[in-house]
Structure 1
Amino acid sequence: MQNQSTPLQAFLESNAEAIESLKSLLQQKLENGQDEEALKIIKLLVSAQPEVTEWKFLMARLLNETGRAQDARNVFEEILVANPLSFEALFENALLMDRCEEGEAVIRRLQGALDIAEEENKVKEARDVRLIMAQIQFLQKNVEEAVKSYQELSKEDPKDFRPYFCRGMIYSLLDRNEEAKEQFAKYRELSPKKFEVEGYLRTSLSRMKLFGSNEKN
C-alpha cells in the first residue's frame, strides 16, 4: 500500500535529527499562524513517520481550521481504516459530519463503529462510541435523548465519571443548576484526575465554544 519513498522521505526516515528539526519548525509555524507552511511540514512528517498517528490528527485538524472540512474528514477516515474504533478519530469526524449537516449519516457512521465494537466484544470501545453518540444527540438538539443516553451509561457503569461530567454540562446550559451541581459533584468524586474528560472535550468541543467556561461551575 505504501508508495516507494522519495529521496527526501528516505532521508527523513533514517535521520532522527532532521525529524527533530522539522518538529521545531512546525511548532514555530503553528505559533506564527503560518498554517499553509505548517501543513507542508506535517505532510512530510506523515510520509516519514506513517506509524505516528498524531501527525495525521494534526493534519486533519489544521485542514479543518483552514476551511477544508472534506479533506480533514478524508484524513480521519484514513485513521479509521487502520483503527476503526479510534475514539478521537470517531469523535472529531462525527463533529465534522454534524457541522456539514449530515445528521442521519453521522449516526449511521457511529452505529457502524458500535456494531464492530459489539461484534468484537470490546466493551470499553462500545461505551466510548455510545458516549460520542450521546454527544451528537445533544448537538442535534435531541437534549432529552442525550440525557437519557448518559443516564443509561451511568447505570451500566456507575464508576465511569464521563457521563456525569457531560450531563453536568448539559444541565448547566439549560440553567438547571442544582442538577448540574449534583452531576459535577459525582464527577469530582469519581475522578481524582481531570485530564481524561478534558481530553474528551477540549480538542473539539471547546474549540467550537459550546461549553465555554462552564466546567468551573
Structure 2
Amino acid sequence: MDIRMSEVKVVVADPVTLTEPEPVSEPGNDTHLPDFLDSNPEAIEAMKKLLEQKLEAGEDEESLELLKKLVSAQPENQEFRFLMARLLNEMGEVEPAREALEEILARNPLSFEALFENALIMDSCGEGEKVITRLESALEVAKNENKDKEARDVRLIIAQVQFLQKNVDEALKSYDELLSEDPNDFRPYFCKGMIYSLIDRNDEAKVQFAKYRELSPKKFEVEGYIRTPLSRMKLFGSDEQN
C-alpha cells in the first residue's frame, strides 16, 4: 500500500519555525578524522550543524558522507547510524539502509526507531508476512525480558503495519486493545484519527484527534508516524510517553 503518513501533518502538527544555522566550514578528509572528532566535541557539533544545512539543502551525497564520518567517530551513537539508514533509504539505497538498521537492531533488538523504519522498508519491498513475523519476534523478546513499554511500542508498530497492508479493521482493533490497557496513551488516538481521516470517517477522526490533543504533552509533534524532512526528524517512541 502506498499510503504514508505525510498527509496527516497538516491535520495535527502546528508549523515549526526553524532558525537558519550559521554557515559551518566542512572538515577535510583526514584519515585520522574519526580520532580527531572523538576527542573534540566541538568538532562533532560543527559537523552536526553542517549536516543540518546539507539536509535542508537536499544535498544527499554530502549529507551521507558527513554521516559516515560521524558514525565512524561515534559508533556507539545509534542516532547517527539511524539517520544514515533513513537517508540511504530515501536515496534508493535500500540494502545499505537495511544493513545499517540491522546493525542497530543487533545492539538493541527493541529499538523503536529501527524496528519501525525496517518494517516500512520490508513492507515496501513486498515482504508483508515477514514484517509481521519479525515484529512478533521482537514482541516475544520484550515479553520475555518483562519490558512492558517496549512490548507496547512493538504492538503499535504492528498495528501500523496492519494498516499499511490494508487490514484496516485489524489495525483499529489493535489500537482499541492498546487503549483498553492504557487509555492515557495518546498515540493510539492519533493513529485511529489518522485512519478515520484517510477513509473519510471525518467525524470519528475529529473525536480521536481531540482526545490525542487532550492527552499529548504540550508542543509535542507526532513525527514517528509521519515522514518528515530528515533534519527535522523527531521519533515518536517510548521516551515520549506521558
TM-score, normalization by structure 1? 0.85
Residue identity matched to 1:199:
E
Are 2:225 and 1:201 equivalent residues in the alignment? yes
**How does 1:127-206 map onto structure 2 within 5 Å?**
127-193=152-218, 195=220, 198-203=222-227
Name the one with the larger helix percent.
Answer: 1
What is aligned with 2:9?
none
Once the two structures are overlaid, the 10-residue window that deviates more, 129-138 or 167-176, is 167-176
**How does 1:1-217 map onto structure 2 within 5 Å?**
7-193=32-218, 195=220, 198-203=222-227
What is aligned with 2:239?
none
- 1:138-194 Cα shifts (integer Å, max 9, x gaps): 000000010111111111111111111111111111111222122122222222435
Residue identity matched to 2:49:
S
Cα 1:52–1:105 change in 2 (3 A) is: same
The CA RMSD measured in Å over matched residues stands at 1.8
Q: Which runs of 5+ in 1 are unaligned?
A: 1-5, 205-217
Deviation at 1:202, TM superposition (A): 2.5
* Whole-Å separation in 1 of the counterparts to 2:58 and 2:171: 36
Residue identity matched to 2:209:
F
Percent identity reads: 69
Per chain length, whose mean CA-contact separation is higher, i.e. which structure has more relative contact order (CA < 8 Å, sep 6+)?
2
TM-score, normalization by structure 2? 0.77
* Whole-Å separation in 1 of the counterparts to 2:50 and 2:184: 43
Q: Which runs of 5+ in 2 are unaligned?
A: 1-30, 229-242
Deviation at 1:20, TM superposition (A): 3.0
* Whole-Å separation in 2 of the counterparts to 1:144 and 1:88: 25
What is aligned with 2:8?
none
**Runs of 4+ with deviation above 4 angstroms:** none
